[in-house]
Amino acid sequence: MKPQPTGSQIFLATLLCLTTLEASAIMAIRPAPAKEHQHDRRAPKIFNLTGHENSQIKFLTPDLQSSDIKSDNGQIALHPTGKDNYHALYASREHNGVQESAIRYVYFNGKPTGRSPSEITFLNKTDFEIIPDPLAREHWHYKAGDEIAFVIRFKNTPLALHPASLATSNASVLESLTDTQGRVVFVLPDDFAKTIPHARANEPGELLIHAKHADHGNRYATWLSSDYQVSPEHWQSTELGAMVVGGGFLFGAFVTGLGFKRRRKKGEK
């Protein structure tokens, strides 16, 4: 029997296809394969940085405190900060004449900082950046079938009619252009080969948004990675829901109709 490629192999192959830069120029932050201890909220979250050579890695907390992070051969361990909400993990480097950057937003539980995630997303972190507009709200996730939007920004200016692409670990590739406000919208493909009918039972997939840019002879490339989950539409039926609502409505109409009859009978007596 011919061995099937794993999800991460497909994902990396998709990345290679996506970029016209050298294969080694890909830069992406992805979660390390899950281990038992990662279910512990106090355990560090482990990520792998593809293209870590000569990179500078930074970590930004929800209250915008920045710190330098060192990787162990591309592996990054993020310890809980005690601050609730999205944190930004990003890396940048110059590679073969291209200014490259990669970013991932990571959620930690903790004490509220009273700061909006829009502060961390719109903060100028690198010259060329992909900004989620918005991020999936706290406790929410990107899901297959969702419309997700990003702003492509260069030196604080949104880039109009700029190409961007989305690749998933389930081998989907989408390409699109930003609008006049620099905003690009993708509909996440429903591309999970196998789904189990329960939200928590399915492993999330990985998505990667990529854009590149040239300015006065300088070249830039950036990647934003995130997870996305199976659409609950696989086990949730809107049609059935509407039918049950209709059933409830008819039952209510029947009950109130009977009520009127009873009153009339009482009145007649």
Does 232 contact other proteins by CB under 8 A? yes
Does 199 contact other proteins by CB under 8 A? yes
Instruction: Tell me the C-alpha distance between 120 and 18, whole Å.
Output: 28
**DSSP structural state of residue 23:** G
Does 138 contact other proteins by CB under 8 A? yes
Shortest Cβ 116–other proteins spacing (Å): 5
- From the list 27-35, 68-76, 216-224, 237-245, the region that binds other proteins by CB under 8 A is 237-245
DSSP 3-state of 11 = helix
Instruction: Tell me the C-alpha distance between 146 and 142, whole Å.
Output: 7
Q: Is the dihedral of CA 208, 141, 158, 128 positive or negative?
A: negative
Which residue of 24, 34, 235, 258 would you call a contact of other proteins, by CB under 8 A?
235
Does 56 contact other proteins by CB under 8 A? no
> Residues touching other proteins: how many (CB under 8 A)?
39
- Which conformational region is residue 51 in: left (phi greater than 0), alpha (psi within -120 to 50 degrees), or beta? left
117 contacts 98 by C-beta, under 8 angstroms: no
Does 187 contact other proteins by CB under 8 A? no
Q: Give the DSSP letter string of 10-26.
A: HHHHHHHHH-SS-GGG-
Q: Which residues pair with 165 in a beta bridge?
A: 175, 210
**DSSP structural state of residue 37:** G
- Considering only residues 245 to 264 of the shown chain, the ones binding other proteins according to CB under 8 A are 245-253, 255-256, 259-260
- From the list 17-25, 48-56, 113-121, 161-169, the region that binds other proteins by CB under 8 A is 113-121
Does 241 contact other proteins by CB under 8 A? yes
List residues binding other proteins (CB under 8 A). 62, 85, 112-118, 134-135, 137-139, 197-199, 232, 235-238, 240-242, 244-253, 255-256, 259-260
